[in-house]
Each structure stands twice: as C-alpha cells, then as structure tokens.
C-alpha cells in the first residue's frame, strides 16, 4: 500500500516546491527578511529589469529542476514506469 501511494505524494511534493518559491516573496516582504523574494520585490519597485529577469530565471530553474528530480524518482518507487 505504501509503495502505491508514493507516486502521488511525490508529485504533490514536486508541485509544492513552486508554492514554496512563490510564498517566499510574500513572507520575506512581510517580515523584512533578506532573500530572493525580497530581492525580487525591491528590484520590481526600483524598476531594475535585469535583476527581475535574473531572479525569475533562478526561480524557474529551481522549479524545473525540482520537477525533473521528481520525474527521475518515479522509476525508483515504481519499477513499472522504468524504461525498457
């Protein structure tokens, strides 16, 4: 039962990485903590487009990398998915 339920859990964990990244913008802005989210907000407010593009690119690469790792883990948890 645990082996069959790992794939949906793994999928949700991969999707939640995106939610965590978007939540950093709000949390860091509200609590005045330094980080990528705060850097993004400050760059938007000062119209620093290069920094905005760089931070968005970094967040997109992290999100895509997390989803890629999730896809790589699928065959480890369910051998039926493994490529033959």
- State which residues form the domain around 42: 14-81
CB atoms near residue 49 (< 10 Å): 10
DSSP tag of 82: S
In a domain, 3, yes or no: no
User: According to the model, what pLDDT value does residue 84 have?
Assistant: 62
In a domain, 7, yes or no: no
In a domain, 41, yes or no: yes
Mean pLDDT by 10 residues, the chain (84 residues): 82 89 89 91 95 94 92 84 72
User: According to the model, what pLDDT value does residue 66 have?
Assistant: 92
In a domain, 77, yes or no: yes
Q: What are the angstrom distances between the C-alpha of 23 and each of 5, 35, 53, 58, 61?
A: 27, 12, 18, 15, 16
In a domain, 4, yes or no: no
* Count of domains for the chain: 1
In a domain, 28, yes or no: yes
User: According to the model, what pLDDT value does residue 21 have?
Assistant: 86
């Amino acid at each position: 039962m645990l082996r069959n339920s790992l794939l949906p859990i793994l999928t949700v964990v991969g999707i939640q990485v995106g939610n965590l990244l978007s939540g950093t913008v709000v949390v860091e802005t509200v609590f005045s903590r330094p980080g990528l989210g705060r850097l993004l907000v400050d760059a938007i407010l000062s119209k620093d487009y290069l920094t905005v593009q760089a931070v968005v690119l970094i967040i997109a690469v992290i999100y895509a990398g997390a989803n890629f790792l999730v896809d790589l883990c699928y065959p480890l948890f369910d051998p039926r998915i493994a490529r033959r």
